[in-house]
Structure 1
Amino acid sequence: MTGLYEKGADSALDELTDAFGKLRSRGQGHLEVDLPDGLFPYVTLSFRADHAVVHLFTDEETVSLLVGDGTVPRDVAVDVPVMDEPAIFAGLFVMTVDKAWSVVRGFVRTRSFAELGEWAAL
């Protein structure tokens, strides 16, 4: 997990941007982002090519997916790597990598997920 350590948000965001850039240059990846004051909440960004999915973990038992941006039809399946394993998601939860990265940056900056979009509990 890429924690936002006590270095400050700007430094942590720079570090996170570097990690994301390396994954993006490979065309796929999985990134986990938590906050310095605890394990929860945290978000993950998983992507392959230009398709991405964002998970939200609010506690040990509660996981949600961010509703996608309409890039992919709701009923089309898309596969992205979660951790190191392929996972398939309905288009309802798929967005562009740029949109997903914007959500992650918003989470880091605001330390909140409430205003980042519509979340669907799993």
Structure 2
Amino acid sequence: MTSSDSGQFQYAEKHSELQELVDAFNLLSSRGQGYMEVRLSDKDFPQMTLSFQGGLAVIHLFTKEESVSLLVGDGSVPAESAVEFPIMDDPVDFTGDFILGLDRAWGVVEEFAQTGEFEESGEWCEL
């Protein structure tokens, strides 16, 4: 997760209760950008990542070590446009095909953190 103090990615894994995750997201979103990785504590996969900048976000899903998918965007940004998002400490451009509004994206991540379910979150595009 992005450190709220330094703004840099913290490589140390931390076990959090849901409310701690919500609080960390709220703090980062109030600062305008961030990156977080979420998985259930009892298994390595699936894992979901949330990268956000302003009111926009991108979600990656890892269902096993070599499998990664992106959640298809919700039309918040035209498909031909690109926006830069933080991935760990690196800025990466994504097209509107994979960009969601931040509220929608956070709802997907929060549901995943509560249930471990992602299948009903929308269309996933395997990379």
After TM superposition, is the score higher than 0.5? yes
Match of 2:80 in 1: 75
User: Does the 8 Å contact 1:2/1:31 carry over to 2?
Assistant: no
Match of 1:100 in 2: 105
Alignment root-mean-square deviation, CA: 1.2
- 1:110: how far off? 2.1
User: TM-score normalised to the size of structure 2?
Assistant: 0.86
Instruction: Map Cα deviations across residues 55-105 of structure 1 (whole Å, 9 max, x no partner).
Output: 001111000000011000111111111111100001000011111100001
Give every structure 1 segment of 4 or more consecutive aligned residues whose post-TM-superposition deviation is greater than 3 Å. Answer: 1-4
> Do residues 63 (structure 1) and 63 (structure 2) align?
no
Give 3-state SS (helix, strand or coil) of 1:39's partner: coil
- 1:3: how far off? 4.1
Select the structure that is richer in strand.
1
Give 3-state SS (helix, strand or coil) of 2:28's partner: helix
What are structure 1's unaligned runs of at least 5 residues?
5-11
User: TM-score normalised to the size of structure 1?
Assistant: 0.89
> Do residues 34 (structure 1) and 43 (structure 2) align?
no
What are structure 2's unaligned runs of at least 5 residues?
1-12
Select the structure that is richer in helix.
1
Q: Percent identity?
A: 54
- The number of residues matched between the two structures is 115
